[in-house]
Amino acid sequence: KNQVEQSPQSLIILEGKNCTLQCNYTVSPFSNLRWYKQDTGRGPVSLTIMTFSENTKSNGRYTATLDADTKQSSLHITASQLSDSASYICVVSRHNTNAGKSTFGDGTTLTVKP
Amino acid sequence: NAGVTQTPKFQVLKTGQSMTLQCAQDMNHNSMYWYRQDPGMGLRLIYYSASEGTTDKGEVPNGYNVSRLNKREFSLRLESAAPSQTSVYFCASSEAGRPYNEQFFGPGTRLTVL
């Protein structure tokens, strides 16, 4: 069964600190992995997209890594800000399928405190 | 560009009532999707439309119907609402080939069924 597992389920950090969120998947054959940020009461917004050949991609203070061999990805947030408080969702798509067949993780809820 | 818009933003129904959730996108995308998101859970695909004139069931289609009215609009109908359908509903759209089917989400409709 194609699955995406995210950890931790929730995380609280102090403003200015770094953190790393994890995503493990069993989706096969792999096409791409995306990280979304979902603010409370809003729809998800894409942060990064990585394909099989990419092992790291950055978007400002967000850096995603991908190890396609171990089927693991991480999202590292540097120098956290209060506005980083949100749910972060890992989404994995299978090769040669419509995006409607993407598998979503349950998300990690990040709270950044002053 | 407004992106993906959804109406209404909030709705309260009584068990057995019917309603239609509306979604429109102005990005000329071919594919559109309907998801539901329950507290503490990931997004689950209800139905999707890979292109105008086609619709397919997703992970949780029971109790819902959809209509791809034209390329811009994709509606979700609840014929006889049940308390189990209390959720936040998100519409999304994507274009095949554009950053590997990156999905753009609407702001969501918060539905409560009493």
Tokens representing A10?
């929730």
Q: Select the highest-mean-pLDDT range: A9-18, B32-41, B44-53.
A: A9-18
Backbone angles phi, psi at A100, to 5 degrees: -65, -15
The chain B residues in contact with chain A (CB within 8 A) are: 4, 31, 33, 40-45, 48, 50, 56, 58, 90, 92, 94, 96, 99-108
What does the alpha-carbon distance between residue A105 and residue B7 come to, in Å, rounded to a whole number? 26
Q: Are B44 and B60 within 8 A, CB to CB?
A: yes
Q: Are A93 and A27 within 8 A, CB to CB?
A: yes
pLDDT, chain A, mean: 92
A45–chain B Cβ distance below 8 A for any pair: yes
Task: Report chain A residues whose CB lies below 8 A from the CB of B50.
Answer: 98, 100
Residue B98 is predicted with a pLDDT of 55
Residue B22 is predicted with a pLDDT of 97
Residue A99 is predicted with a pLDDT of 56
N-to-C CA span, chain B: 36
